[in-house]
Structure 1
Amino acid sequence: MVEKKASSLEELCTFEGFKKVWKHYGYDSDIQEMRDEEFSRIKGITYLDHAGTTLFSQSQIEGFSRDLAENVYGNPHSHNLSSRLTHDTVEHVRFRILQHFNVSPEEYTVIFTSGCTAAIKMVAESFPWRPATLEEPGSRFCYLTDNHTSIVGIRGVTSQLGVTTIAVKPDELSASTQSTESNSGPSFEETPHLFSYPAQSNFSGMKYPLRWIHQIQTQKLYPSHGTAGRWFVLLDAACFVGCSPLDLQAYPADFVPISFYKIFGFPTGLGALLVRNDSSSIMRKNYFGGGTAAAYLVGEHFFVSRTSISSRFEDGTIPFLDIIALNHGFHALERLTKGMKNIKLHTFGLARYTYMILSTLQHANGKPVARIYSDTEFCDPSTQGAIINFNVLDNNGDIIGYSQVDKLASLYNIQVRTGCFCNTGACQHHLGLSNEEMKRNLQAGHVCGDNIDIIEGRPTGSVRVSFGYMSTFEDTQAFLKFIIDSFVRAPARLDECRLARLRESAAAETTEPPIPQSGELGPEPNLEDQDPIHGADLKKPDFDSVTNGHFDAGIQSMKSIDVAGTLTNIFLYPIKSCAAFEVKHWPIGSKGLLYDRTWMVVNLNNVCLSQKQEPRLCLIQPQIDLERNTLAIGAKGMSTVSIPVESGGGEQQTQTLCQSKVCGDRVKTFDCGDEVADWISKFLGRHCRLIRQSSDFTRDVKKRHLQGQAWVSASLSLVNEAQYLMVNRTSILHLQEEIQKRNDASTLQFNTEHLIGRFRANLVVCGTQPFEEDGWTELKIGHTSFQVVGQCGRCQMIGIDQDTGTRSKEPLQTLSACRRGKVTFGAYLLHQPSETSSYPITISTGSWISAIAKREGSDPTAENQSG
Structure 2
Amino acid sequence: METQSLQDFQDLCNFESFKSFWHYYGYGVDQQELIDREFKRIKGVTYLDHAGTTLFPESQIKGFYDDISRNVYGNPHSHNPSSRLTHDTVESVRYRILEHFNTCPEEYSVIFTSGCTAALKLVADTFPWKAASNEGPGSQFCYLTDNHTSVVGIRSVTSLQGVGRVSVLPHEVETRAKKPPTQTNGEEECSVPHLFCYPAQSNFSGRKYPLSYVKGIQSQQLYPACEHRGRWFVLLDAACFVSCSPLDLSQYPADFVPISFYKMFGFPTGLGALLVKNEAAEILRKTYFGGVTAAAYLVAENFFVPKPNVVSRFEDGTVSFLDIISLHHGFETLRKLTGSMLNIQLHTFGLARYTYIVLSCLCHDNGKPVAQIHCDNDFHNIAEQGAILNFSLLDCHGQTVGYSQVDKMASLFNIHIRTGCFCNTGACQHYLAISNQNVKSNLHAGHICGDNIDLIEGRPTGSIRVSFGYMSSFEDCQNFLRFVVNCFVHKPLILDQERLTKLKSAKPMESVESYDVPSIPNGHLGHENGHVNIPSPERITPSENTVSEEGKNNGSRHTLTNLFIYPVKSCGSFEVTEWPLGPQGLLYDRLWMVVNENGVCLSQKREPKLCLIHPVICLASNTLQLQVSGMEAVTVPLETSLANSDLRTSQSKVCGDRVQTVDCGEEVSAWLSEFLGKPCLLIRQRPEFLRDMKFGRGKAGDCGPTALSLVNEAQFLLINRASVSFLQEHIASRHDSENEGTWHDMEQLIQRFRANLVISGQEAFAEDDWSHLTVGDTQFQVIGRCGRCQVIGIDQKSATRTQEPLRSLSECRSGKVTFGVYLAHQSARNTTAVPVLSVGACVIPQISESTDKP
Partner SS, residue 346 of structure 2: helix
Return the offset for 1:490. Answer: 1.4
Residue correspondence of structure 1 range 330-729 to structure 2 within 5 A: 330-505=331-506, 507-518=507-518, 526-528=595-597
Equivalent residues of 1:142, 1:166 under 8 A apart: yes
Partner SS, residue 52 of structure 1: coil
Q: Deviations over 1:719-771 (max 9, x none)?
A: xxxxxxxxxxxxxxxxxxxxxxxxxxxxxxxxxxxxxxxxxxxxxxxxxxxxx
Q: Deviations over 1:429-478 (max 9, x none)?
A: 00001000110000000000000000011100000000000000000000
* Alignment CA distance shift 1:393-1:157 (3 Å): same
Please give the alpha-carbon distance, in whole angstroms, between the structure 1 residues aligned to 2:4 and 2:451: 48
Partner SS, residue 349 of structure 1: helix
* Alignment CA distance shift 1:455-1:519 (3 Å): farther
What residue is the counterpart of 2:109 in the other structure? Answer: 109
Q: Deviations over 1:782-828 (max 9, x none)?
A: xxxxxxxxxxxxxxxxxxxxxxxxxxxxxxxxxxxxxxxxxxxxxxx
Q: Residue type of the partner of 1:526?
A: V
Q: Which runs of 5+ in 1 are unaligned?
A: 530-867
* Alignment CA distance shift 1:60-1:339 (3 Å): same
Q: Deviations over 1:268-297 (max 9, x none)?
A: 000000000121110000110001011111
What residue is the counterpart of 1:275 in the other structure? Answer: 276
1:128 partnered with 2:128: yes
1:285 partnered with 2:286: yes
Residue correspondence of structure 1 range 239-258 to structure 2 within 5 A: 239-258=240-259
* Alignment CA distance shift 1:526-1:166 (3 Å): same
Partner SS, residue 357 of structure 2: helix
Return the offset for 1:504. Answer: 1.8
Please give the alpha-carbon distance, in whole angstroms, between the structure 2 residues aligned to 1:255 and 1:525: 35
1:39 partnered with 2:108: no
Cα RMSD for the two superposed structures: 2.0
* Alignment CA distance shift 1:204-1:401 (3 Å): same
What residue is the counterpart of 1:324 in the other structure? Answer: 325
Equivalent residues of 1:419, 1:463 under 8 A apart: yes
Q: Deviations over 1:374-414 (max 9, x none)?
A: 01100111110000001111111111100000000001100
What residue is the counterpart of 1:266 in the other structure? Answer: 267
What residue is the counterpart of 1:238 in the other structure? Answer: 239
Q: Residue type of the partner of 1:153?
A: G
Return the offset for 1:7. Answer: 4.2
Return the offset for 1:12. Answer: 1.2
Please give the alpha-carbon distance, in whole angstroms, between the structure 2 residues aligned to 1:459 and 1:189: 46
Q: Residue type of the partner of 1:295?
A: A
Equivalent residues of 1:129, 1:158 under 8 A apart: yes
Return the offset for 1:135. Answer: 2.9
Return the offset for 1:512. Answer: 2.5
Please give the alpha-carbon distance, in whole angstroms, between the structure 2 residues aligned to 1:446 and 1:16: 45
Residue correspondence of structure 1 range 67-216 to structure 2 within 5 A: 67-174=67-174, 176-178=177-179, 190-216=191-217
Please give the alpha-carbon distance, in whole angstroms, between the structure 1 residues aligned to 2:39 and 2:402: 31
Deviates more, 1:475-484 or 1:7-16: 7-16
What residue is the counterpart of 1:296 in the other structure? Answer: 297
Q: Residue type of the partner of 1:107?
A: E
**TM-score, structure 1 length as denominator?**
0.59
Return the offset for 1:224. Answer: 5.0
Please give the alpha-carbon distance, in whole angstroms, between the structure 2 residues aligned to 1:456 and 1:519: 58
Partner SS, residue 27 of structure 2: coil
Please give the alpha-carbon distance, in whole angstroms, between the structure 2 residues aligned to 1:5 and 1:171: 39
Please give the alpha-carbon distance, in whole angstroms, between the structure 1 residues aligned to 2:510 and 2:336: 27
Please give the alpha-carbon distance, in whole angstroms, between the structure 1 residues aligned to 2:153 and 2:116: 13
* Alignment CA distance shift 1:287-1:475 (3 Å): same
Return the offset for 1:113. Answer: 0.1
* Alignment CA distance shift 1:4-1:73 (3 Å): closer
What residue is the counterpart of 1:11 in the other structure? Answer: 11
Please give the alpha-carbon distance, in whole angstroms, between the structure 2 residues aligned to 1:74 and 1:86: 6
Partner SS, residue 486 of structure 1: helix
Return the offset for 1:181. Answer: 9.9
Return the offset for 1:111. Answer: 0.1
Q: Which runs of 5+ in 2 are unaligned?
A: 521-592, 599-854
Q: Deviations over 1:485-509 (max 9, x none)?
A: 100111212111111111122x354
Which runs of at least 4 in structure 1 moved beyond 3 Å after TM superposition?
A: 3-8, 179-182, 517-520
* Alignment CA distance shift 1:189-1:4 (3 Å): closer
Please give the alpha-carbon distance, in whole angstroms, between the structure 1 residues aligned to 2:261 and 2:282: 26
Q: Deviations over 1:655-687 (max 9, x none)?
A: xxxxxxxxxxxxxxxxxxxxxxxxxxxxxxxxx
Q: Residue type of the partner of 1:89?
A: T
* Alignment CA distance shift 1:310-1:381 (3 Å): same
Identical positions, percent: 62
Partner SS, residue 171 of structure 2: helix
Q: Residue type of the partner of 1:21?
A: F
* Alignment CA distance shift 1:203-1:6 (3 Å): closer
Return the offset for 1:120. Answer: 0.2
Please give the alpha-carbon distance, in whole angstroms, between the structure 1 residues aligned to 2:238 and 2:5: 47
Return the offset for 1:176. Answer: 3.5
Please give the alpha-carbon distance, in whole angstroms, between the structure 2 residues aligned to 1:427 and 1:155: 19
Q: Residue type of the partner of 2:498?
A: C
Return the offset for 1:365. Answer: 1.2
Return the offset for 1:189. Answer: 6.0
Equivalent residues of 2:419, 2:465 under 8 A apart: yes
Partner SS, residue 466 of structure 2: strand
Please give the alpha-carbon distance, in whole angstroms, between the structure 2 residues aligned to 1:444 and 1:453: 12
Q: Deviations over 1:589-645 (max 9, x none)?
A: xxxxxxxxxxxxxxxxxxxxxxxxxxxxxxxxxxxxxxxxxxxxxxxxxxxxxxxxx
**TM-score, structure 2 length as denominator?**
0.59
Equivalent residues of 1:99, 1:519 under 8 A apart: no
What residue is the counterpart of 2:813 in the other structure? Answer: none
Q: Residue type of the partner of 1:415?
A: H
What residue is the counterpart of 1:313 in the other structure? Answer: 314
Please give the alpha-carbon distance, in whole angstroms, between the structure 2 residues aligned to 1:165 and 1:491: 52
What residue is the counterpart of 1:66 in the other structure? Answer: 66
Q: Residue type of the partner of 1:127?
A: F
What residue is the counterpart of 1:54 in the other structure? Answer: 54
Q: Residue type of the partner of 1:165?
A: R
Return the offset for 1:510. Answer: 3.7
Return the offset for 1:5. Answer: 10
Equivalent residues of 1:246, 1:519 under 8 A apart: no
Larger Rg: 2
Name the count of aligned residue pairs. Answer: 519
Please give the alpha-carbon distance, in whole angstroms, between the structure 2 residues aligned to 1:319 and 1:4: 58
Return the offset for 1:4. Answer: 8.1
Please give the alpha-carbon distance, in whole angstroms, between the structure 2 residues aligned to 1:402 and 1:342: 32
Q: Residue type of the partner of 2:114?
A: S
What residue is the counterpart of 1:712 in the other structure? Answer: none
Please give the alpha-carbon distance, in whole angstroms, between the structure 1 residues aligned to 2:509 and 2:189: 48
What residue is the counterpart of 2:611 in the other structure? Answer: none
